[in-house]
Chains A and B, each alone.
Chain A
Amino acid sequence: NAGVTQTPKFQVLKTGQSMTLQCAQDMNHNSMYWYRQDPGMGLRLIYYSASEGTTDKGEVPNGYNVSRLNKREFSLRLESAAPSQTSVYFCATELRTLYYEAFFGQGTRLTVV
């Protein structure tokens, strides 16, 4: 039972390059999230998907796009990477029933040079 799996774990991009961060879950949860974690800033929500077929902006969506491909997969795309997007990105899932509890992947460490 893998839980929440993120790929890749590490990535270095040049400014202006594009890439997609992948997230897959086998927990059968309906909600999925993308956060970024920066020193001194804590975790901030980029985008979320409350259920398959829906996506919504979080606190810091600029420069990102997302796709909820199916119930299991939620991807985050950087169309034109900027140094300000250097961060650690976390995917999370929730089962939104009586107890809303979040579960996180291991993170993707992205450096934009």
Chain B
Amino acid sequence: KQEVTQIPAALSVPEGENLVLNCSFTDSAIYNLQWFRQDPGKGLTSLLLIQSSQREQTSGRLNASLDKSSGRSTLYIAASQPGDSATYLCAVRYSGAGSYQLTFGKGTKLSVIP
């Protein structure tokens, strides 16, 4: 069974810090990887999508990297703000068996302290 792991489960940082969220996956046969943000009581908002052929994607203060050989992705947030406080979910789309289904990690809950 494919597994996606996000460590740490929770992270607290002071405002202004740069930070890295980690995602690891067990099967390198991925089609793409998607990072989401989830605010309390809300749905998932797509942040970045990285195709298997790409190394990184950037959007504003966010940068996501992908290393298929090591089974890892990182989400880098520059100059963190209190508004970045949320749970960040990593989801991997596997290409094995032709299903292309998403497998989710359990998320990292980020708190940015003013």
Chain A interfacial positions (CB closer than 8 Å to B): 4, 40-45, 48, 58, 90, 92, 96, 99-107, 109
Contact = CB atoms under 8 A, between A and B. Distances in A.
A interface: dominant SS: strand
A41 B106 CA distance: 7
Nearest to B4: A42
Contact of B89 (A40, A43, A101): A43
A104 B44 CA distance: 6
B114 interface: no
Contacts of B45: 104
B104 interface: yes
Contacts, number: 48
A93 to B, nearest CB: 11
B101 interface: yes
Contacts of A99: 32, 49, 51
Contacts of A107: 41-43
Contacts of B51: 99
Contacts of B34: 101-102
B43 A45 contact: no
